[in-house]
Amino acid sequence: MRSDLMKNAERNGEPGTFVLQNPRMLKVDLTGTGGHFFARQGAMVAYQGDVDFSYEGSGGVGKFFKKAFTGEGMSLMKVSGSGDVFLARDADEIFLLELEDESVTVNGSNVLAFDSSLSWDIHRVEGASMLSGGLFNTTFTGRGVLAVTVYGTPVVLNVDTPTYVDMQSAVLWSTGLHSSIRKTAKMGAAIGRGSGEAYQLCLTGNGFVVVQASEGHPVPKP
């Protein structure tokens, strides 16, 4: 059979690595991952070999209650066994971050998968409230790979002056930055692209922030 489709053949990598098959699909070889890794529940699109998927909730009792009160957190599955696992989410673009004894703060809704060697916890942004929609994000720390998804090709902004980002558009930022919430207009003032227009995430210090070109996927109309 001849077809341009066959140009999209599986890409191989070192055992235990996260390998992008294309900009919108991730492959994880379970060999060398320490026996398992974590992924967003429902992100599996295919797998080969003897692989087990188990629901992990938000990662323990403490994190479960944090998720219950904040609405943040990730519905995770523990992926273990032997073989290759392919992950994707709504054809979003996927980017890999290799942490080397570092920390990064990520919007939980943008997390696709991560090495079991990384530790993580949920934190509230200072100044966030129910009125501003709250803002709780997940901090990853350690050595390992983290895969994030973005809806709309992102831009990386250098933060060396106060930087304001729509709360739904902020994908991740340097953990060392100071974060707070700022109200810049009356409720309903259309300065942004949607629900977050009256409140922005304010970042100060020295570091970077990744901003996606959207406020996330459109909410289906009833």
Contact 146, 115 (CB under 8 A): yes
For 6-18, letters b (16+ CB in 10 Å) and e give eeeeeeeeeeebb
Please give the structure tokens belonging to residue 19: 């390998």
pLDDT (tens digit, 0 to 9) for every residue of the chain, 222 residues total?
655 655 655 566 555 589 999 999 999 998 867 779 999 989 999 999 999 998 765 444 444 434 433 344 467 889 999 999 999 999 999 999 999 999 999 988 899 999 999 998 887 776 555 444 446 688 999 999 999 999 999 999 999 999 999 888 999 999 999 988 887 665 555 555 544 457 788 999 999 999 999 888 887 776
pLDDT of residue 9: 59
Question: According to the model, what pLDDT value does residue 130 have?
Answer: 46
Whole-angstrom Cα distance, residue 148 to residue 44? 14
Strand runs (DSSP E) across 60-118, as ranges? Answer: 76-87, 93-106, 111-115
pLDDT at 109: 85
Query: What is the Cα–Cα distance from 215 to 212, expressed in whole angstroms?
Result: 7
Q: What's the longest Cα–Cα distance across the chain?
A: 61
pLDDT at position 14 is: 52
pTM of the model: 0.82
pLDDT at 182: 82
Classify strands 207-211 and 170-174 as parallel, antiparallel or unpaired.
antiparallel
State the CB neighbour count (10 A cutoff) for residue 5. 8
Positive or negative, the Cα torsion across 44, 151, 12, 35?
Answer: negative
Q: How far apart are CA 36 and CA 115, in angstroms?
A: 8
Find, among 93, 66, 86, the residue nearest to 13 by Cα: 86
| Amino acid making up residue 87 | L
Give the helix ranges, DSSP H, for 98-156: none
Report whether 24 contacts 151 (CB < 8 A): no
